[in-house]
Amino acid sequence: MTLEFWNTVAAWGTFTVIAATAIAAVVQLNHMRHSNQLGGLLTTFGILQDPALRDLINYVRHDLQANMKDDVYRRSLLDTPVDRAKHPEFYIIDVYNHIGAFLRGGLIDEEIYMRTEWYNVRLYWNLLVEPIAIRRTLNPYVFENFEYLAARAEAWVAKHPKGDYPPTERRLELPAVPDVLNVTAM
C-alpha cells in the first residue's frame, strides 16, 4: 500500500472523528438548551404558584375592577413611582412582563408555556390592560413584554381554536352539565 493511500485513510479518519465530535457537540448543546428551558419553565411555574402571588391574583380577579371605578385610584396610577401598596396589581404585571421577556429571549419554550398558560395570560392581560394603558400615557413602551406575551397567547388560540389535544388520543367523557349553569367559553 502506498503512502498516498495511508494519507487518504488518515484524512478520512480525521474527518470522521471531527464530524462525530461536531455532531456530539450539537446534540449536547441541544440537550443543554432543553435543560435550561425546563429550568426556566419550572421556575416560572413555581413563581405563579407562590402563595403570596396567589393573594395578589385574587386581588386582581376580585377587587381591582371596583377600585378602577374610583377616580382617585385611577389618578394615582400616574404617580412615579407607582405606590405598590396602593397598586399591588403591578406585581402581577411585572411577573407577566418578565415571563414575556423570557419567552422573547428563548429562555422559555413558547409551545410548552402556552399549552398550559394561554388562558391565564389572556385573562390577566384583559384584567390589567386598563392600568397598563394609564401608565402608558407616561411611557408608551412600558410593559411591552407582557403585551408580547398576550399577543403570543392570542396567536396560540388562533392556531388552536379547538384546543391542541392530540387528535389520535381518545377523549374522556365528562358529566352532563345542568342547563341552569348557562356556561360560556372564553
Q: What is the 3-state secondary structure (H, E, C) of the chain?
A: CCHHHHHHHHHHHHHHHHHHHHHHHHHHHHHHHHHHHHHHHHHHHHHHCCHHHHHHHHHHHHCHHHHCCCHHHHHHCCCCCCCCCCCCHHHHHHHHHHHHHHHHCCCCCHHHHHHHHHHHHHHHHHHHHHHHHHHCCCCCCCCHHHHHHHHHHHHHHHHCECECCCCCCCCCCCCCCCHHHCCCCC
The reply to whether 84 falls in a domain is yes
Mean pLDDT (whole number) for 106-130: 94
**Within a domain: residue 10?**
no
pLDDT digits (tens, 9 = 90+) for 13-56: 787 877 777 777 676 766 666 666 667 677 777 777 788 888 89
pLDDT score of 184: 63
Q: Is residue 107 part of a domain?
A: yes
Q: Indicate if the pLDDT at residue 186 is higher than 60.
A: no
Judge whether 174 lies within some domain. Answer: no
Enclosing domain of residue 71: 36-161
Classify burial at 30, counting beta carbons within 10 Å of its beta carbon; exposed 0-12, middle 13-18, buried 19 or more. exposed
Q: How far apart are CA 56 and CA 49, in angstroms?
A: 11
C-alpha to C-alpha distance for 113 and 110, rounded to whole angstroms: 5
Phi, psi of 84 (to 5 degrees): -70, -20
Q: What is the pTM of this model?
A: 0.75
Choose the weakest-confidence range: 99-103, 117-121, 181-185.
181-185
Q: What mean pLDDT do residues 135-160 have?
A: 97
Residue 48 belongs to a domain:
yes
Least confident of 10-19, 73-82, 128-137, 170-179: 10-19
Domain presence at residue 173: no
In a domain, 157, yes or no: yes
Q: Does residue 164 have a pLDDT over 70?
A: yes
Domain-located, residue 119:
yes
Count of Cβ atoms closer than 10 Å to residue 113 Cβ: 23
In the predicted structure, residue 96 carries a pLDDT above the cut 60: yes
Number of domains in the chain: 1
